[in-house]
Amino acid sequence: MAEIQLRNVGKRWGDYVGVDNFDLTIADREFLVLLGPSGCGKTTTMRMIAGLEDATEGEIVIDGKVVNDLEPKERDVAMVFQSYALYPNKNVYENIRFPLKVRKVDPATHDARVRRASAMVELDDFLHRRPAELSGGQRQRVALARAIVREPNVFLMDEPLSNLDAKLRVSTRAQIKNLSHELAVTTIYVTHDQVEAMTLADRVVIMKQGVVQQVGTPVDIYDRPANAFVAGFIGNPAMNLIEGVVSGGTFRAERTEVAGLSAPQGAVTLGFRAEDAQVVDTGGQINAPIYTMELLGDSTMVSVRINGALVSVKADKTFRGRIGDPVSIAVPAAQCHLFSAISGERIHA
């Protein structure tokens, strides 16, 4: 197994900074998710670990060994790509077996290893088929089995679910979660989908424009986002963010007044989660007309507009209203987060 250290790793192309001063230790058998919007540097970071990109600065250490100058095949990592990269002329069995042939593994062990890997991803009934005869979810499982069969020290997964439909994403995500537990191999997983990150990860690294914004468990990041960017990126829906001013412990913005806050005076961004507020008859901290409603089954998402931003709250599933109806929203001060209006950093009361 392998611990991975990224020691002040950076990647630059001329003046463009792809990854800046990435410094992190990934524990043996940890499932780490790199999360962020397109272009934030998460895939570049993974490719540097794999050896597909050269680090401009810093050291990459796998299992105590600096690997910056090693070829990808010498790093004992297996990578699952967004595109399945299967051989169309080979059946599933041979696609899974291929890494063993390339690495000149004892042929006498091939069949047992291929069948063990295929069983883990429930492909035993499809070993004779070619990729063109498989669904997207089945092809992705072949790609997973091909990585598993190598028994590597490190798994690298680059947005492996992005080509699947919503239902398949849920089932395959569950399969990856179970596999990570069963295989107990250090795994680095890249995604822009925060639901994947929150459900799969032991720890999440959130990136923006090549810079790490926060590292923590999913609960840590959800409950105490380090800055307004993280707050607005994590959660479904994301945290509500309202720009306003604090004076005398009270936050004020358009149609909004939240008292009882412990914060310095001045311009701030107030945040709260949709599930931490509620629709009330009267006396709420936000009073505005309904902008839109969404029936979610277990609840009703009610949204209003404050300072041009959409602010959402989860109401009871029995809530009934129409667009334009006035609504009062209770926002408990204890559930509020405050961020600097200038830097976006969290204000620690």
Q: Which of 149-163, 200-214, 269-283 is predicted with the least confidence, judged by mean pLDDT?
A: 149-163
Same CATH topology for 4-227 and 229-340: the answer is no
The pLDDT tens digits of the residues spanning 88-118 come to 999 999 999 999 998 889 999 999 999 999 9
Q: How far apart are CA 209 and CA 25, in angstroms?
A: 21
3-class state of residue 236 by DSSP: coil
State the average pLDDT over residues 301-316: 96
Determine whether 26 is exposed, middle or buried from the number of CB atoms within 10 Å of its CB (0-12, 13-18, 19+): buried
Say which CATH topology domain 4-227 has.
Answer: Rossmann fold (3.40.50)
Domain 229-340 has CATH 2.40.50.140: yes
Q: Domain extents for the chain?
A: 4-227, 229-340
| CA neighbor of 139 nearest in space, from 101, 188, 90 | 90
Q: Is pLDDT above 70 for 1? A: no
Q: Which residues contact 322 (CB under 8 A, 6 or more apart)?
A: 290
